[in-house]
């Protein structure tokens, strides 16, 4: 069991399969990209599956989310999903993606055992998409989402970040579109995880701003904490149902007290929180001559035992993590 000193138990594992991405979103990385991890530093497919097996069979993990960078850039992703699906007990599996590669891979991922996907899409306007991502791939994302829905990777959840002066007026349109296409929309506050360290609290689009905008067109009824559980998104029932919309307010309404996540970077580091400034190296333990599952599990437990009470975003001494979102997994 992965328990910390505050009594929280981690049952949800986020696994970054690569730090690489085929977009250059302004809130994530600079236009020229980043210096990617060297191949020897990355976990191999076998090492990833072994760590997930240890997490599931030794540490009580029940859900696995594959992230990146862009996880569909990982050549062995279908095989990894298939091997994890064969574990006993079988964890629930999902994938967070920018959607560009989904049209090509959705059917294979479903056949391998993936349960559902989260797709990042911040705008319905192709020109704004190009400005935000510095790539002209808007239609590819839409096609990928449709392919995921047709393959049965449902519910297809859409993650949207609103940026001042770019797409901050699109919340109602995004929700109407998501409901029409049977997608589940979730807005995410922009977080201080950009490689440029350009994030500023002042002027960011908050959960309150998003809800105020949505209420100009829709009636929202809060679902309530009992239904939310440890999920990061606060959810509202739209116009009496059945559709819902979520808001992940990591900055203004942190949910640290209910956090049930543990994270693995693409190079085998345990992170207790997206905003952690320390990591625990499991890759070295995996590659040691006398490597054992028990020793890896012990190190993992020790790392999670030291998890802090919260993200520290409201602390004047808060330091943005040196590694950006693309390196640590969303």
15-71 pLDDT, tens digit per residue, is 999 999 998 888 777 777 677 889 999 999 999 999 999 999 999 999 999 999 999
- Which residues fall in the annotated binding site for GTP? 14, 65, 96, 157, 261-263
What is the pLDDT confidence band of residue 255, given thresholds at 50, 70 and 90?
A: confident
Does the pLDDT at position 283 exceed 70? Answer: yes
Q: Enumerate the known binding-site residues.
A: 14, 21, 25, 27-28, 65, 69, 96, 120, 157, 191, 256, 259, 261-263, 273
The pLDDT value recorded for residue 230 is 64
Across the range 228-237, mean pLDDT stands at: 80
Q: Quick one: pLDDT at residue 286?
A: 95
Q: Alpha-carbon distance 101 to 141, whole Å?
A: 8
Apex 272 CA angle, 281 and 231, nearest 5: 140
- Dig out the tokens for 168 from the structure: 């901050």
Task: Report how far residue 50's alpha carbon sits from residue 71's, in angstroms, rounded to the nearest whole number.
Answer: 18
Contact (CB, 8 A) for 145 and 183: yes
Among residues 116, 73, 111, 69, which one has the least CA distance to residue 91?
116
Q: What is the DSSP string of 162-215?
A: --TTTTTT-HHHHHHHHHHTT-EEEEE---S--TT----STT---HHHHHHHHT
Could you tell me which CATH number the domain at 2-327 has? 3.20.20.70
Q: What is the pLDDT of residue 275?
A: 84
Per residue in 162-173, pLDDT (tens digit) is 999 999 999 999
Which tokens is 200 given? 């500023």
CA pair distance 186, 188, nearest whole angstrom: 6
pLDDT band at 131 (very low <50, low <70, confident <90, very high): very high
C-alpha Rg value of the chain to the nearest Å: 19
Tens digits of residue pLDDT in 71-92 = 999 999 999 999 999 999 999 9
Q: How far apart are CA 308 and CA 256, in angstroms?
A: 9
The pLDDT-based confidence of 121 (bands split at 50, 70, 90) is: very high
Q: Quick one: what percent of the chain has pLDDT higher than 90?
A: 73
Mean pLDDT for the chain overall: 91
d(CA 261, CA 272): 7
Element (H, E) at 149: helix 138-151
Would the pLDDT of 241 be above 80?
Answer: yes
At residue 328, the 3 state secondary structure works out as: helix
CA distances from 318 to 80, 161, 275, 310, 321 (A): 36, 22, 9, 11, 9
Cβ atoms of 181 and 154 within 8 Å: the answer is: no
pLDDT given at position 226: 61
Q: Is the pTM of this model over 0.85?
A: yes
Tell me: pLDDT of 251 over 90. no
Binding residues for S-adenosyl-L-methionine: 27, 69, 120, 191
Residue 274: pLDDT over 90 = no
Could you tell me whether strands 280-281 and 269-271 are parallel, antiparallel, or unpaired per DSSP bridges? antiparallel
DSSP helix/strand/coil, 85: helix
What pLDDT is recorded for position 88? 95
Phi/psi for 200 (5° steps) reads -135, 135
Q: Closest by alpha carbon to 214, among 170, 178, 184, 157? A: 170
Q: How many CB atoms lie within 10 A of CB 248?
A: 19
pLDDT of residue 203: 74
Output the pLDDT for position 310. Answer: 81
Query: In this predicted structure, what is the pLDDT of residue 51?
Result: 98
The pLDDT of residue 212 is: 97
Q: What is the pLDDT of residue 296?
A: 97
| Contact indicator for 189, 251 with CB cutoff of 8 Å | yes
Handedness of CA 110, 116, 118, 124 (dihedral sign): positive
- The pLDDT of residue 197 is above 80: no
Give the span between the Cα atoms of 238 and 117, in whole angstroms.
22
Q: Are 194 and 28 in contact (CB under 8 A)?
A: yes
* Confidence label for 254 from pLDDT (cuts 50, 70 and 90): confident
> Which pLDDT score is estimated for 228?
58
Gap between the Cα atoms of 330 and 321, Å rounded: 13
Give the rounded distance of the alpha carbon of 124 from its chain centre: 21
Structural domain boundaries of the chain?
A: 2-327
* pLDDT for position 216: 97
Show binding-site residues for [4Fe-4S] cluster.
21, 25, 28, 256, 259, 273
pLDDT confidence bin for 311, thresholds 50/70/90: confident
């Amino acid at each position: 069991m992965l328990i910390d000193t505050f009594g929280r138990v981690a049952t949800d594992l986020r696994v970054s399969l690569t730090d690489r991405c085929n977009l250059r979103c302004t809130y994530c990385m600079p236009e020229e990209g980043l210096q990617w991890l060297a191949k020897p530093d990355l976990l191999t497919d076998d090492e990833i599956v072994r760590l997930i097996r240890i997490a599931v069979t030794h540490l009580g993990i029940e859900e696995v989310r594959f992230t990146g960078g862009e996880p569909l850039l990982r050549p062995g992703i279908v095989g990894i999903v298939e091997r994890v699906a064969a574990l006993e007990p079988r964890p629930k599996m999902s994938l967070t993606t920018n959607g560009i590669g989904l049209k090509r891979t959705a059917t294979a991922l479903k056949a391998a055992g993936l349960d559902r996907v989260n797709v990042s899409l911040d705008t319905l306007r192709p020109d704004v998409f190009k400005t935000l991502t510095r790539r002209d791939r808007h239609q590819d994302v839409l096609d990928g989402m449709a392919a995921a829905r047709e393959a049965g990777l449902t519910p297809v959840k859409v993650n949207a970040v609103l940026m001042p002066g770019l797409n901050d007026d699109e919340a109602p349109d995004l929700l109407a579109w998501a409901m029409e296409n049977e997608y589940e929309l979730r807005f995410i506050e922009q977080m201080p995880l950009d490689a440029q360290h350009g994030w500023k609290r002042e002027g960011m689009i908050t959960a309150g701003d998003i809800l105020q905008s949505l209420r100009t067109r829709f009636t929202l009824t809060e679902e309530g904490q009992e239904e939310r559980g440890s999920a990061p998104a606060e959810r509202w029932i739209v116009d009496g149902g059945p559709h819902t919309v979520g808001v992940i307010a990591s900055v203004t309404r942190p949910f640290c007290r209910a956090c049930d996540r543990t994270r693995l970077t693409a190079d085998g580091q345990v992170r207790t929180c997206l905003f952690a400034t320390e990591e625990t190296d499991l890759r070295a333990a995996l590659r040691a001559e006398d490597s054992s599952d028990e020793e890896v599990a012990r190190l993992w437990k020790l790392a999670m035992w030291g998890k802090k009470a919260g993200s520290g975003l409201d602390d004047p001494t808060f330091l943005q993590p040196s590694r950006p979102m693309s390196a640590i997994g969303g």
